[in-house]
Amino acid sequence: MPSHDVLVIGAGLAGQRAALAAAEQGVSVGIVSKVHPVRSHSNAAQGGINAALNPEDTWESHAYDTVKGSDYLGDQDAIEVMCREAPEEILYLEHLGVTFHRNEEGKLGTRAFGGASAARTYYVADITGQAIMHVLYEQLMKYSEQITRYEEWFCSSLAIDEKGECCGVVTRNVADGSMQLFGAKSVILATGGDGQIWKPTTNALICTGDGIAMAYRAGAKLMDMEMIQYHPTTLAGKGFLITEGARGEGAHLLNKNGERFMERDAPNKMELASRDVVSRAEQTEINEGRGFPDGTVALDITVVPKKRIHEALREIVLVGRDFAGVDITREPIHIKPGNHYTMGGVKTDIEGRTDIPGLYAAGETACVSVHGGNRLGANSLLDTLIFGKHSGRDAAARALRTDWSKPSEKVLEDEQNLIDDINGREKGSGRRVSEIKLELGQTMDKHVAVFRDEAGITEALETVRRLKEEAKSAYIDDHGQVFNQDLMAAIELTYMLDCAECSCVAALERKESRGAQTRTDFPERNDEEWLKHIDLERTEDGPEISYSEVTITQWQPEARTY
Amino acid sequence: MADYTIKVRRYQPESGEPAYWEEFNVELEPSLSVLDGLLQTKDRTDGSLAVRCSCRAAICGSCGMKINGQSGLGCKTQIGEAQALADKKAAAVGGASEGNVITIEPMGNQPVIKDLVTDMESTHWEKFRRVTPWLLPAGTPPEREYIVEPESMIDITQSMACIQCGACVSSCLSMEADPLFIGPAALAKAYRFVGDPRDAETSERLTDLAHDPHGIYDCTHCFSCIDACPKGVAPMDQIMRLRRKAGEAGIEDPNSGHSHEMAFVKIIEKKGTLDESMLLQESFAPGVLGKLMPTKRAIKEMIGSLPTAIRGIKTGKMRSLPKLIPGIHHKLPGGAQDEVKAIYKHAEAHNEEFNLYIKGEEGDEEAAVQEGLEPDAADYLPTGADKEASNG
C-alpha cells in the first residue's frame, strides 16, 4: 500500500502550496489529483491576489476591508492571520518565479479591486491564478524526490480508523481503473468548491464538491454553506467569468438606459463595492425591467485605454471575442450575476484542522472562515495559499509525532462494491446521471441564488432530496476500466447532492439577509439573532444544525455602506 | 439552434477493436463550442465517449484535439465555425459546399489512450521536465522583490500564458519526423526562464538546448505551432528567441545551427536568392578569412557534407553550373537587390519581438494613435497605469 506522511487530495493552489509546505518539514508527501494538476480550477482566478505590501498600506486596513466585506460573519482571528502573512506570501511567490506585473521602477505593481480601500491587488495580466499555479507546479517537479505526484487519480472516500482518526484514502487510477488504498498520517482535502451544483456557473466541470462531501460523510462539520457568491460579471448563459479586474481598471456598469446604476447603491465605491452589493444591484435592475431583454446589464470596458486593455485584460479580450462575439475594446459586453464561489465548506481552525483528527482542509473546500458572508475579490488566491501553507505545516508536524495506523481494507471493499453497484445498473433502470445533474443545476440557480425566500429554498431542498433518491438508481453507459469518466460523474453527482442539500438547509435556516444570503422574506441583517455560523453535521436524516460563535477581535459590526 | 453532425475518431482499448469513426448528431447554437457538442453527445447519447475537459473557457488546457484536421481546443472552437471550415475544405476538393461532417480526432504526435484522450505524459510532460522547468536564481533572494525591467515580466508572460494543452505538440511537423524533438511547448517553457532576468543559469540553459541534437535547431520554422496555439504563445517565436540568444552568446552548437542560419541571412542579403553552393562553406567557414583558414571542424564538417552535395547533383537538385561553383550564382536583375537590402534595413530598424502582451493584436495601432504617439514608440512605453489604478 502506498503510504505518505502527508497526503494531499487536490492539486490546485491550496493543495500544491500545502504539499510544498509539508515537504519543507522533511516528511514524505503524496499529492493526488483527479485531473493533471495544471488543469485545476485555480487557473480561472484572473484578477490577482491581495496583500498590504506597500509601505503606505497596512494589514489592518486589508483585514478591516475583509471583515466588512464578509458582512461581519468572517472570523477575525483567521482574517488577521491571512492579512498579516499576505505580504510575505507575495514575496515568496515572487522569489519562486511568478511573473508579477511591475511598475515603472521595476517593483511589484498593483491594481484596484472591489471592496478594498487601497490598490493592493498584485497580478500577472489577467492570468494571475494560472501564472501562480504553474509556478507552484514547477516547484512540485523540482522537489519530486520529496513529493510524489499521483496525476489523474480520483479520490473517492476517506479511511477513518477505530480511534476516529483519518488514516488514508481510497483512490481510483483514472487511466486503468485500478483501485488503491493509500495510507497517511495526515490527509489534506484541497479539492476546491462545488460550483457545478449550479448551472450556469463560472466553475469548471471538475468543481463537484468532492472534498466537502467526503469530509461531511466522514463526520466532519460543514460551516457557512448558505453563503454562495454570485459574481457580478459573468456571461449570460455560458457563465464565463469577466474579471473584476475590468472594473478595477475603470470599467462601468450600465443598465439599458445607459445609467451607471451603482451610483444609487454604492455612491462612493461605485462598481468596486463588494461583490454581493454589486450583484444585488444588477439583479435589481434586471428584475425591475431596466436590464436588456436577454436578462443582463452592460459592462463597458471601452472607457479603459485600449493599450492598457491589451496589456492587463488580454484574457477578457479573448473571452469576449471567442465566447460572446464582442470586441470589448469597442463595445460594452452583456453580463449578469452568476454562481462563482462557495464561501462555506469544511469547518477548520486556522491550522486547517477539521473536527476529525488527521483530517485537514484548505482553500475553497475549507471554511476557516475568512470570507464569512461574502468574499472580496483577490482574497481567494490568498486564502488558498495562506491556509494551504498552514495546513501543510501542521499536517507535517502531526505526522512527525504520530504512529502509523493502517487503514482497513474494508473501506476499499465498500468502495469497490459501490462501483460494482453503479456498473450493474442497466440502461432504463433509472434516469441518466446527466439529467439529474441538469435538474439540480437549474433548481439551485433558480432558488438558491442572489435573492432567496422560504418557499423557493424549500422547493429546492425537496427537489434535491428527490434527486438524491433518483441518483441511487441512475445509470451510466460506460462499464469499462480505462478512463471511465461516466463512472466518476456518477460518484461526483452524489457529492454534489450532499453539498446542495447542506446549502439549502443552511439557507433556509438563516432567517436574515447578510452577505450573499439575501432573503426577501427577511430583508434586514439581524446581528441580535444571527451573528453566528451555521454548522452542519451529517445524520441519517440529513444535516443536523448547530451554531458557533463568530470570532470578533477588533472590529464590531456596523452598518455596511460602500 | 442548428443541427450538426460530428464524426469522432474513437478508440475503446478494452474492446480489442481498432480505432473507428462514429457519427453523432448534435443540436446547438452555432456560437457554442465543439466541446459543447461532445458534451451533449456524452450527456444524451453515449457516456462512454472519453474527452478530457474542465473549464470550458480555454484556461485549463484539457481539451486539445484535432478539429477538421487542425489542432486546437474543443472549447475554443465554435461549432458554427467548425462547420464552415468543414464545408470550405470539402468544397475546395470538389465536394458539397454545405452539410459536411465535422471531424474530431485525438491530438497528433501522442499515443491515444481512449477516444480523444491521449498520453501526454510520455510525449509532452517528460520533455517539459527535460528543460529544467523551474527558476534557478543565484544566491539567496533579496529581502523584498527582485527589481527587474517591467517589460521583461510582460515579455515572459507570453510564455507563461501557455496552458500546456499540447495543441502545438499535436501540430508539430518536426516532431512527426523526429519524435525526440524537445518540441514547441517545452521550448517555449524554456524561454520563460531564459528570458527571466531573475534566472542565473541562462548560459547553461542555452548551451544545453543548443547542444541537444533534438533541441532548438530541430525546429523547421513551419509555423504550425503558432497556428495551433489557442493562447497566442507563439511557441516558434520563443524558439527563435532562444536561438538568437544562443547565437548572441556565442554558443557554438554541434549542428552549426546558428552559423547555418546566419549563412542564409547573409547570402540572401547579398544575392536575393539562395546560392546553395555557398551555403555549405558559409555555414561552416563563414567570411573570407574563414575560407582561407578553415578550422579543423569546418574542414571535417564540409567533407562530411560531401555525400549530401553529391546526392544533390545526382538527383538533379543542383544541376546548373552556377549552382555548383561557389560565388558565381546570379544576383537579382535590375534594382531588385536594392529592394532586398531595403527590407533588411527595415527589419533591422524594427528589430523587436512580436509579443501580444506588449503589442496587442497584430496591426492594432489604434491604442497608440489615441495616446497621440507614433505606433513604434508607443509599443514599448510603460503605460503609467499603476498610477491610474491606485487612484481608483
pLDDT band at B301 (very low <50, low <70, confident <90, very high): confident
Check CB contact under 8 Å for B360 and A112.
no
What is the distance in angstroms between the Cα of A316 and the nearest Cα belonging to chain B? 11
What is the rounded distance in angstroms from the CA atom of residue A401 to the CA atom of residue B208? 44
The label of the residue with cell 516528511 reads: A27
Are A480 and B48 in contact (CB < 8 Å)?
yes
Annotated catalytic residues of A are 275
Residue of A nearest to B198 (CA): A97
- Enumerate the residues of chain A whose CB falls inside 8 A of the CB of residue B199: 97
The SS3 call for residue B61 is coil
Range in A531-535, B1-5, B155-159, B286-290 with the lowest mean pLDDT = B286-290
Interchain contact, A485 vs B47, CB within 8 Å:
yes
pLDDT tens per residue, range A465-500:
999 999 999 999 999 999 999 999 999 999 999 999
Contact across the interface for A97 and B196, Cβ inside 8 Å: yes
Q: Radius of gyration of chain B from Cα atoms?
A: 25
Q: Please list, in sequence order, all residues whose beta carbon lies within 8 angstroms of the beta carbon of residue B125, skipping any fewer than 6 positions away.
A: none
Helix (H, G, I), strand (E, B) or coil at A496: helix
The answer to whether the CB atoms of B12 and A480 lie below 8 A apart is: yes
- pLDDT by residue (tens digit) across A191-219? 999 999 999 999 999 999 999 999 999 99
Chain B interface disruption, residue of A314, A431, A439, most B CBs within 10 A: A314
**Residue B359's pLDDT is what?**
52
For residue B44 the three cell numbers come to: 444524451
Which residue in this structure is represented by grid cell 445607459? A258
Chain B stretch 2-21, residues whose beta carbon is closer than 8 A to a beta carbon of chain A: 12-14
Residues of B in contact with A250 (CB under 8 A): 388, 392
Contact B384 A104 (CB under 8 A): yes
Contact B134 A139 (CB under 8 A): yes
Q: What is the mean pLDDT of chain B?
A: 86
Question: How does residue B307 score in pLDDT terms, banded at 50, 70 and 90?
Answer: confident
Which of B78, B160, B196 is opposite residue A131, by nearest beta carbon? B160
Average pLDDT over residues B287-301: 77
Q: State in Å, rounded, how far the first CA of chain B is from the last one.
A: 43
Residues of B in contact with A125 (CB under 8 A): 154, 157, 161, 357
CB pairs under 8 A between A and B: 225
Distance from B123 to chain A by nearest Cα, in Å? 15
Q: Cβ contacts (< 8 Å) between A432 and chain B: which residues? A: 43-44, 47
Interchain pair B367, A306: CB under 8 A: yes
Q: Would the CB atoms of A204 and B133 count as touching at under 8 Å?
A: no
Examine the predicted complex and report whether its ipTM is higher than 0.85.
yes
Verify whether the Cβ–Cβ distance B150 to A104 is below 8 Å: yes
Phi, psi dihedrals of residue A496, rounded to the nearest 5°: -60, -40
Let me know how long chain B is.
392
The answer to whether the peptide bond before residue A369 is cis (omega within 30 degrees of 0) is yes
To the nearest whole angstrom, how far is the Cα of A342 from the nearest Cα of chain B?
Answer: 17
B interface test, pick of A483, A484, A486 with most B CB neighbours within 10 Å? A483
Instruction: Give the residue on A whose Cα is nearest the Cα of B41.
Output: A434
| Residue B7 cell numbers, joined | 464524426
Instruction: List B residues 40-69 in contact with A (Cβ-Cβ < 8 A).
Output: 42-44, 46-48, 50-62
pLDDT bin (cut points 50, 70, 90) of residue B367 is very low
Selected residues 106-145 of chain B with any CB under 8 Å from a CB in chain A: 113-115, 117, 120-121, 129, 133-135, 137, 141, 144-145
Chain A residues within an 8 Å CB radius of B201: none
As a whole number, mean pLDDT of residues B225-233 equals: 95
Q: What's the mean pLDDT in B23-28?
A: 97
Vertex A125, ends A101 and A119: CA angle to 5°? 60
DSSP secondary structure code for residue A329 in this structure: T
User: Per-residue pLDDT averaged across B246-264, rounded?
Assistant: 86
Q: Does B357 touch chain A (CB under 8 A)?
A: yes
Q: Note the pTM of the prediction, 2 decimals.
A: 0.92
Tell if the CB–CB gap between B160 and A483 is shorter than 8 Å. no
Which positions 225-284 of B are in contact with A (Cβ < 8 Å)?
232
Partner A contacted by B165 (CB < 8 A): no
Spatial distance between the Cα atoms of A492 and A497, rounded to a whole number of angstroms: 9
CA nearest to A278, candidates A265, A295, A289: A265
Least confident residue range of A139-148, A391-400, B106-115, B289-298: B289-298
B331: amino acid identity, one letter = K
Q: What is the pLDDT of residue B157?
A: 86
Tell me whether residues A107 and B390 touch, CB distance under 8 A: no
Provide mean pLDDT across the span B233-255: 91
CB A344 within 8 A of CB A229: no
Show pLDDT as tens, one digit a residue, over chain A (562 residues).
899 999 999 999 999 999 999 999 999 999 999 999 999 999 998 889 999 999 999 999 999 999 999 999 999 999 999 999 999 999 999 999 999 999 999 999 998 888 888 999 999 988 999 999 999 999 999 999 999 999 999 999 999 999 999 999 999 999 999 999 999 999 999 999 999 999 999 999 999 999 999 999 999 999 999 999 999 999 987 888 998 889 999 999 999 999 999 999 999 999 999 999 999 999 999 999 999 999 999 999 999 999 889 888 888 898 898 888 899 999 999 999 999 999 999 999 999 999 999 999 999 999 999 999 999 999 999 999 999 999 999 999 999 999 999 999 999 999 999 999 999 998 888 999 999 999 999 999 999 999 999 999 999 999 999 999 999 999 999 999 999 999 999 999 999 999 999 999 999 999 999 999 999 999 999 999 999 999 999 999 999 999 999 999 999 999 999 9
Instruction: Give contacts of A308 with chain B, Cβ < 8 Å.
Output: 383, 385, 388
- Can you tell me the distance from the alpha carbon of A241 to that of A239, in angstroms, rounded to the nearest whole number? 6
Decide if B191 contacts B238 (C-beta within 8 A).
Answer: yes
Show which of residues 169-198 on chain B sit within 8 Å of chain A, judged by CB atoms.
193, 196, 198
From chain A, the residues in CB contact with B378 under 8 A are: 307
**What secondary structure letter does DSSP report for A102?**
B
pLDDT of A318: 86
Q: A108, B53: Cβ pair inside 8 Å? A: no
Instruction: State the pLDDT at residue B363.
Output: 42
